[in-house]
């Protein structure tokens, strides 16, 4: 009885800890000024880990992500604005460092492809619906009529199948 209660407690604790968001910011990275630390955390959530690629540097435990977090804090300590910090990192690592790329001539297709795909898909479905609506009643369910030659050939094939000794 006790072992079941202990196992249930361990399982519940594991589930609760697993549901908590993972943060990779280490205590030695945290800035003493809470306002600057909040800015650093917000900026870190917008920057991509170059190793993990689908995580922000705020969530990543990769050494490069730690270096980028420290660099963000260093730039904030130097008095850079949020925009200046982002621009510095983009100049150094390229647009790929941003989790949400900026809208410019280089990323136009990236931003326009999803809405265009939705519009084209909707248009295709609309056309398909109109085409089905314009068919005569029962046309979609009926099979085409056989010509007399096709009907006689079908009868011969069926007769030959039921009597395999006879040639076609």
Instruction: Name the β-bridge partners of 56.
Output: 48
| Cβ 57 vs Cβ 48: under 8 Å | yes
What are phi and psi for residue 48, nearest 5 degrees?
A: -85, 140
Question: What pLDDT is stored for residue 13 in this prediction?
Answer: 66
Domain count, the chain: 1
pLDDT of residue 20: 43
Residue 166 lies in a domain: no
The stretches in the chain having pLDDT less than 50 are 19-22
CATH code of 113's domain: 1.10.8.640
pTM (two decimals): 0.55
User: Per residue in 22-62, pLDDT tens?
Assistant: 456 767 778 888 898 999 999 999 999 888 878 899 888 88
What is d(CA 87, CA 33) in angstroms, rounded to the nearest whole number?
23
């Amino acid at each position: 009885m006790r072992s079941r209660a202990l196992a249930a407690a361990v399982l519940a604790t594991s589930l609760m800890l697993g549901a908590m968001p993972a943060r990779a910011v280490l205590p030695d990275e945290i800035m003493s000024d809470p306002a600057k630390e909040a800015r650093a955390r917000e900026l870190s959530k917008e920057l991509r880990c170059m190793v993990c690629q689908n995580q922000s540097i705020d969530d990543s435990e990769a050494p490069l992500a730690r270096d980028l977090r420290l660099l963000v804090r260093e730039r904030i300590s130097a008095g850079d604005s949020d925009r200046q910090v982002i621009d510095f990192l983009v100049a150094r690592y390229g647009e790929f460092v941003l989790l949400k790329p900026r809208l410019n001539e280089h990323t136009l297709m990236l931003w326009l492809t999803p809405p265009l795909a939705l519009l084209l898909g909707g248009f295709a479905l609309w056309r398909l619906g109109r085409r089905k609506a314009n068919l005569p009643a029962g046309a979609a369910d009926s099979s085409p009529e056989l010509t007399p030659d096709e009907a006689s050939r079908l009868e011969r094939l069926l007769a030959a199948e039921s009597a395999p000794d006879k040639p076609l």
